[in-house]
Amino acid sequence: GQNIDQPTEMTATEGAIVQINCTYQTSGFNGLFWYQQHAGEAPTFLSYNVLDGLEEKGRFSSFLSRSKGYSYLLLKELQMKDSASYLCAVSPISGAGSYQLTFGKGTKLSVIP
């Protein structure tokens, strides 16, 4: 099975940098996704990591350490519109049921002026 842990809530100031951590325990692992979900809306895809290291995409970066079962999402130059929930999701190893994602409970980020 899969177990995903991420902080429930975080608060950060506009213009600052925030790091949202995600740890996972899984019987098989293929890759890790990060999604953004604004209140009342559907999740939107942010990033995907399959190899160890940092993937940068504009103001957002995502890091993965497979050996440690750890990932983080880094948001730079925070804007008010970044206030949302950030979902960590694990993709299991290839095989039966390999296309199902297991989602964490999400981290609700509040950006304050």
Partner 1 sequence: EADIYQTPRYLVIGTGKKITLECSQTMGHDKMYWYQQDPGMELHLIHYSYGVNSTEKGDLSSESTVSRIRTEHFPLTLESARPSHTSQYLCASSDGGRETQYFGPGTRLLVL
Per DSSP bridges, beta strands 18-26 and 31-37 are: unpaired
Kindly tell me the burial class for residue 89, based on how many C-beta atoms sit within 10 Å of its own C-beta (0-12, 13-18, 19 or more): buried
- At its nearest, how many Å lie between partner 1 and the CB of residue 15? 27
Which residues ranging from 37 to 96 are in contact with partner 1 (CB under 8 A)? 40-45, 48, 50, 87, 91
CB 72 within 8 A of CB 62: yes
User: Interacting stretch for partner 1, rule CB under 8 A, among 21-29, 53-61, 70-78, 101-109?
Assistant: 101-109
The overall longest dimension of the chain from CA atoms, in Å, is 47
Q: Which is nearer to partner 1, 47 or 111 (CB)?
A: 47
Kindly list the residues in this chain that would bind partner 1 in the complex (CB under 8 A): 31, 33, 40-45, 48, 50, 87, 91, 98-101, 103-106, 108
